[in-house]
Amino acid sequence: MNTYSVTLSGSPPWGFRLQGGKDFNMPLTVSRLTPGGKAAQAAIDVGDWVVAIGDANAEEMTHVEAQNKIREASGSLTLTLSSLK
């Protein structure tokens, strides 16, 4: 398991979609990347698990809580992710 952090700068769209969350009993993971988008440029991978959004632990967040936390970010978005690769 490789855990890494990325800071995307600027403004949305950040170029990824999420799936899962506490309310789905599924880990919050990246389900899709926009080719050439900010997340893809930062080497985020589909399937990576979102551990934290900014300073907030994301492991117990519902899907909508995570989306809202991401939407609150302005200027930059820091994510901590874990990859199985």
Number of residues that bind ligand LEU (CB under 6 A): 10
Query: According to CB under 6 A, which one of 13, 24, 26, 64 is a site residue for ligand LEU?
Result: 13
- Please identify, using beta-carbon distances, which residue of 9 and 71 lies nearer to ligand LEU: 71
- Please identify, using beta-carbon distances, which residue of 3 and 32 lies nearer to ligand LEU: 32
Burial 47-56 (b: 16+ CB within 10 A, else e): ebbbbbbeee
- The dihedral sign for the CA sequence 55, 60, 64, 65: negative
- Please identify, using beta-carbon distances, which residue of 18 and 83 lies nearer to ligand LEU: 18
